[in-house]
Amino acid sequence: MMNSKANKRIGITMIILLLALVILIIHFSYSFLYLPSHNAQKIREKRMYSFQSLPKSAQEGNYYDTNGHLLMEHGKANSSEAYSMAWLLGYYASDNNHEYKMGLRGNLVDYSYLHLNKQKVGASTFLTIDSNLQNLAYELLHNQEGSITVLDAKTGAIRALASHSTFDFNINDLSTLTKQTAKNSQFTRGLFEKDPPGSTFKIITSISALEQENIPNLNFKDTGSYLSKDGGTKIVNFENKAYGNVGLEKALNHSINTYFAHLGEELGPTALEKTAQKFLIGQDIPIPYLSTLHSKLDVQGANELAATAYGQGKTQITPVHLALIAQSLANKGIMKEAYIVESIQSDQNILYKHQEKDLSKVTESAVIEKLNPYLRSTAKLYGLKGEVYAKTGTAELPDKTTHIYLLAYTKDYGICLSLNHKNQSNRLIPLANRLLQYLQK
């Protein structure tokens, strides 16, 4: 009897000890394995301790462009790219005395600062950026608020992403930057600002129509105005022009709002939304080590369907996302993952190598083949040089400001140019021609 009770006590004791051991293992795993890798505060603490333990002789890793050109050596920027690369790399001076680490340098700190070789130098990062193209794009912005994005059509590699804001600050005095109160003043404009896509969305509406098994009537008699069915809102064309009998090509050539408002309502919200979702509008799109693109899709509610179909309404998208749309059309309907980090290396060891990734099949290549002649004639009408397909757009924002875009693609590149506080999209044509001249040489 006593043995039975003793065995029972021993069994209970063993179970308690076992449970305690399990709890300790769980606590250890959570505290010392999970949290340091997943909890933002623990990650910051870990980095702080790592930085504190760095030898004074340690040096930040170098950054190179796609051609092997040295952009930044041990934290000091190459002066010729000091401004054009500032937003991307994350600094605001061409020396290492006044730095504001964000952007790529902030995101890659574990490699560039903490992965030291025998010489106590951090890992080097090789970017997809063409520094000559990046410098040109930045020059073309010419102190205007906006962005220029160029993507490789086949791979999604970011060849240029220039951004400019028009607030005043001293590049060698960080305090003048951080004290800025202007809304969105520190945005990398191509990546973060979301606005209605303007008439560039007419490409999506066109594709949605061409995708239908029973293609809706693409002919429309334009009187210069149109009353939307869902809310009775009066829609007019630019400068109140009336174009008479219109087909899809002429509607794209002249960006006829009434045509696309009517076409959108003929398609219905389900069809238009389905096409837009294949272009990942309304979804987050991560760009490794750089950022995440956000967008909004809204075709429901009074007036939204007609407004969205010609590029206004509540739908919002970033300029880099527009460049991805251009890239997908150049790549026969396959949207690639955009990327800017090609590889990270320490001595001869490759620590990271980008693997190409398909994000979405946006439409069939046969649909793009039908659309291309229309966008080609539109580009010609704009005066764009070379074999290029294009559509401009002007977004009217709730605060009464405007945002102009040019979405374009060649067989090799997807492009988006955007400028804020401008209301005539033809301002982008000379900039685009200089960009295309460089890309097509």
Residue ranges in 142-201 assigned as alpha helix (H): 174-178, 189-192
Q: Does residue 40 sit within a domain?
A: yes
Mean pLDDT of all residues in 236-241? 91
- How many CA atoms within 13 Å lie on the side-chain side of 17? 6
Q: Given pLDDT bands bounded at 50, 70 and 90, which one contains residue 114?
A: confident
Beta bridge partners of 244: 222
Least confident of 50-64, 216-230, 339-353: 50-64
Both 403 and 254 in one domain: the answer is: yes
Last residue of a domain, one of 17, 32, 52: 52
Assign 97 a pLDDT band (cuts: 50, 70, 90).
Answer: very low
Helices (H) and strands (E) in the chain, counts: 17, 19
For the chain, what is the radius of gyration of the CA atoms? 27
> How confident is residue 243, by pLDDT bands cut at 50, 70 and 90?
very high
Q: From residue 62, give the alpha-carbon distance in Å to each of 156, 195, 238, 352.
A: 23, 35, 50, 15
Q: Is the pLDDT of residue 282 over 80?
A: yes
Residue 307 lies in a domain: yes
- Phi, psi torsion values for 296, nearest 5 degrees: -135, 135
Give the bridge partners for 215, in sequence order. none
Does residue 48 fall inside a structural domain?
Answer: yes
What's this model's pTM, rounded to 2 decimal places? 0.84
d(CA 313, CA 231): 13
- pLDDT of 57 reads 75
165, part of any domain? no
| Phi, psi for residue 86 in degrees, rounded to 5 | -60, -45
Tell me, what's the pLDDT at 181?
Answer: 47
**Domain annotation covers residue 137:** no
Residue 89 inside a domain? The answer is: no
CATH number at residue 215: 3.40.710.10
CB 383 within 8 A of CB 155: no
Q: 46 with 194, same domain?
A: no
Q: What are phi and psi of 216, to 5 degrees?
A: -65, 165
Residue 123 and residue 101: Cα distance in Å, rounded? Answer: 17
Domain presence at residue 214:
yes
pLDDT number for residue 34: 67
- The CB density around residue 401, as the number of other CB atoms within 10 Å, is 13
Q: Which stretches does DSSP call E strand in 49-135? A: 63-64, 70-73, 76-77, 124-127
Domain boundary among 31, 52, 73: 52
Distance (Å, whole) CA 153 – CA 411: 7
Tokens of 403: 């945002």
* Predicted local distance difference test score (pLDDT) of residue 48: 54
The Cα 222–Cα 258 span in angstroms is 7
- The whole domain housing 33 covers 2-52
How many domains does the structure of the chain reveal? 2
Domain membership flag for residue 77: no
